[in-house]
Structure 1
Amino acid sequence: MKSKFSVLRSIRRKEFNAENYFTKPFTFKGKQKSVYENANLSIFVNESCNADCRFCVDQLRFEGKGKTFIKERIADDEEYFTRLEEVLSTLRPLNPSISITGGEPTKSHRLPRILKLVSKYNFRKRVITTNGSGLLDIVDGKRIIDHIVENGFHHMNISKTHYLENVNANIMKFSNNYFCNEQMREVVKVALSGNVRPRLSCLLLKSGISSIEAMMRYLDYYGEMGVDNIIFRETMDYDKSVMHNIPKLRFLEEQKIKLDDIWSEIDLLQHIFRPITQVLGYYYYCEVYKYKNIDVVMESADLSAIDPQKEKTPNTVFEMVFHLNGNLCGSWLEDEDILLPYECSGRQLSYSTRII
């Protein structure tokens, strides 16, 4: 059976086009730019993480540019929050969606205050991405999940590679504070009662979820907990010529499950996976389905397509990232596409290096 998604799916890489986006003008400290109407601001909270996932997207963004993970950070908390508020205030007229990310943001002592500051400016959509390990930690007298609910966050993305604990633990390699399914059940219950929609993120891997049957078991397992939004991702494509971490490169190549193969099977199961829509970005492609009462997204992406697409529209800002050193950039690298440089003469900086 042919799917209505088949045509665009087959030509998606040829159709990546940064020029197809609707934008609006905005001035960044005297620099006139065009900003994507649905732009997102990611607040990169910390570089440290208590898991050691060999597929880590945070690390891959640096590897994909042939760089090592070295970050300069504002050491003083008060200086950091003064700078963060300055950036949030400047960007509020754009009203971007907000994503809190890291590292593992729930393990940062700064997180509750960041949540409050984002809530103060009432941005249209607020999301936190986490491996879940710190959601039940108590900080300032409350669990982190309670801070998230109280500050009006709309979505919570949780990385979970498998419903079987031993398989998930082997892939994500937590050094401490493993986030188990019983904790997941508690977190989902609290989130839903506070109008925060949890979404699970599962990377397709040969050693993890690797087939339609396994995907359905995953959906049923977490659907029973009340989760109604799950995304399955193919490992990202990238420029292999600049990758210098050979173990990571080998892992990504050996473990890759191609969504094209999954989709060809799903085309025969449209009575189970009902096609809803498809989304083509400038370096990614998604298909959205309905499985029972669950919204299911399947995404493929190509990191090596980002720079060529940006070169077509050099004055366009597609996403913004607030980095640990106080720079606001149009890139996940803190020294690239700087929109609002942090130039405080008396700033206190420290350095953190993590070899990836």
Structure 2
Amino acid sequence: MAPTLRNQYQTATSSAELAQFRAAAWQFYQPVAPVAVAAFGRTHQLRPGLTFTPFANAVRCNAHCAFCSEELLRHEGHQLTAKRLINDYPAYFQRLRQVLLPFRGFPLGLSLSGLEATAEPVWLRELLACLTGLEGEGVVFNEKVLYTNGSGLATQPDLGLALEDFGLSRLELSRCHDDEAVNQQIMRFNRNQPIRHNAVYAATVGWLHRHLSVKNSCILTRLGIATLPDVERYLRWAAGLGVRQVVFRELSRLEGSYLPNVFTEWIEQNRVPIEPLLTAVAPTLEATRPGWEYAGSTFGYYYYNEHYRWQELEVIFETSSYPALQAANATGVLQKLILHSDGTLSGDWDPDSRVLSRVPKPSLDYYYPSA
């Protein structure tokens, strides 16, 4: 696996080194030298490899995942951008051009996430067209990833063709359990969403594989996938759908960084720590579980991954820390760029934090319906 600007990849050569990787996790990441970029009347320090996210919330999300990060509130009390919908598409895309053109020539990763980008196909198609035009003007996306629950791809397959034409690098498709009833308890799709049914999900995945690189993403929870036998059963199911890459993610470690609410309580009650799973798969490099082969480890600025081969699949276990993410942000080096739905460009999921540029006050009217 080739290293990228976004993380650092190493292969442990001894059990002692692997133990060191696990103990240090994201702390093993060595920040690269930032790059100074002039934009919006100031010089900003950017981490090479940082990603840009046009926060997807043209409509309310069509699932209500019990672990949704957009329902978490920081102690500072700032509201996250998910509560504000994009109501005027032409004005939004004009703003998108304004915030990206200053970064022409600086390679960015494109991370299509937020709420559910495929829930509003018109917005997504216009977004892809706008971003394609910006690439023609010198904006560089050296990786393009869509994080999705797949709902819009199930009802409008031509969205997959549009993503293929756009040159999407990878589609990360969320599914938290191989049993549709258990998955529904965790992801809580609106009842009118066909993707909640396994038969629809399987057909959607099968079609997508003919056009895009698809990675399954499974959040580990006590309610869902929690043990290594659970993991292996999920992998057999995913392999039967043609999936060749699966990531199992521990719920992000909050460590008191957010105000208590029903979502933080659910997260902490249902957290499945990654360490026992890693120990079960590979207590040492010399004694991995039969059928499993260690391939390497990835260190990011707030996450740690271990990569394995299981049968014909690449399997990744991931753990991450919100306090580590916030600590990296606090250094003054921009770790990512997010265009919020009120037109604010910031370096944080909070639109009031690490602001680079805001829309002049009178122009905000187009984001809200008339009273």
* Shorter-chain TM-score range: 0.7 to 0.9
| Structure 2 residue aligned with 1:95 | 107
1:320 aligns with 2:332: no
1:10 equivalent to 2:29? Answer no
Question: 2:152 aligns to what SS in structure 1?
Answer: coil
Q: What's 2:172 paired with?
A: 157
In structure 2, distance between residues paired with 1:185 and 1:323:
33
Structure with larger RCO (C-alpha < 8 A, sep 6+): 1
- Structure 1 residues 313-337: Cα deviation after superposition (integer angstroms, max 9, x where no partner): 31x1111111111111110111111
Residue by residue over 1:232-290, the C-alpha shift from the partner in whole angstroms, topping out at 9 and shown as x without a partner, is 11111114264231x22321122111111111111143542221221222222111112
Asked whether the 8 Å contact 2:99–2:345 carries over to 1, the reply is yes
Contact kept in structure 1, 2:338 and 2:346, CA below 8 Å: yes
The one-letter code sitting in structure 1 at the alignment partner of 2:125 is P
Helix, strand or coil at the partner of 1:120: helix
The CA deviation at 1:291 is 1.6
Matched pairs, number: 342
Shift in alpha-carbon separation, 1:132–1:333, aligned structure 2, 3 A? same
Of 19, 25, 30 in structure 1, the residue corresponding to residue 36 of structure 2 is 25
Within the candidate set 47, 52, 60, 1:36 is matched to 47
Is contact 2:68–2:263 with CA below 8 Å preserved after alignment? no
RMSD: 2.4
Distance 1:260 1:251 in 2: 20
Give the deviation of 1:68 after TM superposition: 4.5
1:273 is matched by which residue type in structure 2? W
Unpaired runs of 5+ in structure 1? none
- The change in CA–CA distance for 1:20 and 1:241 in structure 2 (over 3 A counts) is closer
Separation in structure 2 between the aligned mates of residue 151 and residue 344 of structure 1, nearest angstrom: 33
Deviates more, 1:282-291 or 1:181-190: 181-190
Distance 1:181 1:72, change over 3 A: closer
Partners of 1:161 and 1:90 in 2: CA distance: 39
Per the alignment, residue 6 of structure 2 pairs with: none
TM-score where L is the length of structure 2: 0.84
CA distance in 2 between counterparts of 1:23 and 1:88 reads 19
Q: Decide whether the 8 Å contact of 2:35 with 2:47 is kept in 1.
A: yes
Instruction: Check conservation: 2:345, 2:356, Cα contact below 8 A.
Output: yes
Corresponding residue of 1:234: 250
Q: 1:80 aligns with which of 82, 92, 99?
A: 92
Q: What residue is the counterpart of 1:186 in the other structure? A: 203
Alignment partners' CA distance in 1, 2:145 and 2:328: 26
1:191-225, CA deviations, whole angstroms, 9 ceiling, x for partnerless residues? Answer: 3322x211111111111001111111111211222
- After superposition, the Cα gap between the structure-2 partners of 1:74 and 1:90, relative to the gap in structure 1 and judged at 3 Å, is farther
Establish whether residue 339 from structure 1 lines up as the match of residue 356 from structure 2.
yes
Could you tell me which of 122, 132, 138 is aligned with 1:119?
132
TM-score, length of structure 1 as denominator length: 0.87
- In structure 1, give the amino acid aligned to 2:109: S
Secondary structure of the structure 2 residue equivalent to 1:324 = coil
Give ranges in structure 2 of 5+ residues lacking alignment. 1-13, 136-140
1:147 Cα deviation from its structure 2 partner: 2.1
Query: Which shows bigger deviation, 227-236 or 338-347?
Result: 338-347
| Residues 242 and 125 of structure 1, relative CA distance in 2, 3 Å threshold | closer
Give the residue type in structure 2 aligned to 1:214: D
- 1:59-86 per-residue CA deviation (whole Å, 9 max, x = no partner) reads 33x4575544464455321111111122
Deviations 1:18-71 (A, max 9, x none): x622432211212212211111111112062111111113333x4575544464
By percentage of residues, which structure has more strand? 1
User: Given the alignment, which residue of 137, 140, 143 partners 2:155?
Assistant: 137
Partner-residue secondary structure (3-state), 1:200: strand
